[in-house]
Amino acid sequence: MSELALHIPNGIIGIPTSLVFGLIAAIVVGVCVVAARRGLDERLVPLAGLATAFIFAAQMLNFPVAAGVSGHLLGGALAAALLGPWLGVLCVTVVIGVQALLFADGGVTALGMNVVNMAVISTFVAYGVIALALKILGRTRTGLTAAVFAASVAGVVAASAGFVLEFAIGGEAPQSLGEVAGAILSVHVLIGVGEGLITAVAVTAVALTRPDLVYALRGSRLLGTSLEKETV
Amino acid sequence: MNGAEGLYRPGTSPLHRSAPQAKLTALVALTFAVVATPREAVWAFGVYAVLLAALFALARVPIGWIASRSLIEAPFLLLALAFPFLAGGETIQWGFLELSVEGLWAGWNLIAKATLGVWAALLLAATTPVAGLLAGLSRLRCPQILLQITAFAIRYAHLTAAEVAQMRRARLARLDDPRFLWQAGALARSLGVVFIRSFERGERVWQAMAARGYTGRLPLDVSPAGAGLGQWSAAMAAPALAAGVAVWTAVGA
């Protein structure tokens, strides 16, 4: 679960494309600030700050997958399920910005594209899938787990599809688009499955103890869970 | 990761004393100049590397530190090494290997630009404390709300990280044997617990702030002193040189 196509560095996508995506990122993040403030007003800064600290911690959970390969979460679906799309985008954006400026992870010229892929596309797609799947599957424990799992896979794959799109517009490498798309999308389906398993269990664990904190459930508790279970 | 201070290395060099807003602008300008340089102008990338090396020396950042932090781009270096074998077109023989010329150029392009970008970002991170960076971004008119969220996130990140480490230690002490995929369940459930604790801490922090009269705006004086012309011109010297080289190569090529 390394982040192969994510955290785009400098020099893989041309400057005009980078600037266009930088502009898109700035506009979407601006909209998210307004929308998140409507929901939280003056609580926004402390709550979003702590939620972002949590996403940091989630990304820091490096765990060995196989010899020499360790993985960590990307967190888009996690943020979408627990915090909702607006706050989720803000938190993941802050994480990406900090990683680029404080830890040199991801190119400065690619900041806009990284935000669009990992924060905007991944979070919005994941939230859309959760909302839809919860309607179809019902607000049960299994329903939530399945919805979050599907959302994580969709979110990760959509983020990598964002990279493929940017590469198609302004790529500075020789491979044909088909090869790039095939390789990247197939790798990210695998990454998405791993991410999905962990995110689904984590969100379900939160839903069983504090369903009010799961944005995707909008305050209602899961059907079929007794109060006894909730207070465990 | 040391959540509270990033990669900052305390020091008193001219780079440490330089105004953060000027350094941020210089980083962006330098990076764009590097990316805009045509890949065939190999000597230009040499000039950039020497320039950055001189600045690292000026800031007294050891080479080993730079090398180990540069590993962050390792996945992309692997990708760059794969280009010569994957790309088609004209090929050259190198020993028993048949390499694509176009692929070699593309790999070089990615390695050179990504590495120089990482070095430039490391230079900023090594010489600027987190508070200074936020203050510099604020001078550059980055939206306050994002900066405040970032400040809170960085302030509390080490606490959340410590909580994760503590839970892992507690599991190990109770004879858990985290391996391969079997650890995923326990890991995910502790993640859920950390989220609940973080969110509850956020609510407590907000209540404490509200009790002290917080109404949605921080009364902090986060905007730092402005930088004078001298500060700006000193900081912009390196990117100006790089931009000159980039223009030279673009026109000449």
B7 occurs within a structural domain? no
Give me the residue label for tokens 């990992």: A118
Cβ contact A46–B206 (<8 Å) = yes
| Chain B residues lying within 8 Å of A213, measured CB to CB | 195-196, 199
Whether residue B43 sits in one domain with residue B100? yes
Whether residue B163 sits in one domain with residue B95? no
Cβ atoms < 10 Å from Cβ of B102: 18
Whether residue B198 sits in one domain with residue B239? no
Cβ contact A108–B192 (<8 Å) = no
Cβ contact A57–B150 (<8 Å) = no
Whether residue B149 sits in one domain with residue B121? no
Whether residue B122 sits in one domain with residue B64? yes
Distance CA A82, CA A96 (A): 19
| Chain B residues lying within 8 Å of A209, measured CB to CB | 192, 196
Q: Which domain holds residue B204?
A: 144-211
| Contact (CB, 8 A) for A199 and A77 | yes
Domain extents in chain A: 15-230
Kindly tell me the burial class for residue B1, based on how many C-beta atoms sit within 10 Å of its own C-beta (0-12, 13-18, 19 or more).
Answer: middle
B45 occurs within a structural domain? yes
B9 occurs within a structural domain? no
State the complex-level ipTM: 0.82
Nearest residue, CB atoms, A53 vs list B109, B125, B153: B153
B129 occurs within a structural domain? yes
**Within its chain, how far is the Cα of A43 from the centroid?**
22
Phi, psi angle pair for A62, to nearest 5°: -85, 125
Q: State whether residue A48 sits within 8 Å of chain B by CB.
A: yes
B96 occurs within a structural domain? yes
B240 occurs within a structural domain? yes
Give me the residue label for tokens 């070699």: B104
Whether residue B235 sits in one domain with residue B149? no
Task: Supply the CATH classification number for the domain A15-230.
Answer: 1.10.1760.20
Q: How many domains does chain B have?
A: 2
Cβ contact A45–B145 (<8 Å) = yes
Whether residue B152 sits in one domain with residue B132? no
Whether residue B157 sits in one domain with residue B128? no
Distance CA B119, CA B127 (A): 12
Q: Along the 232 residues of chain A, how does pLDDT read in single tens digits?
A: 334 445 787 777 888 888 999 999 999 999 998 888 887 767 778 888 888 888 888 777 665 554 445 556 778 888 898 888 898 998 999 988 888 888 777 788 888 998 999 899 999 999 999 999 988 988 888 899 999 999 999 998 998 888 888 888 877 666 666 777 787 788 788 888 888 888 899 899 988 888 888 888 875 666 655 544 444 4
| Chain A residues lying within 8 Å of B103, measured CB to CB | 174
Whether residue B159 sits in one domain with residue B131? no
Whether residue B113 sits in one domain with residue B29? yes
Whether residue B163 sits in one domain with residue B232? no
Nearest residue, CB atoms, B72 vs list A49, A91, A104: A104
| Chain A residues lying within 8 Å of B153, measured CB to CB | 48-50, 52-53, 56, 91, 94-95, 98
**Local structure of residue B24 (DSSP, 8 states):** H
B20 occurs within a structural domain? yes
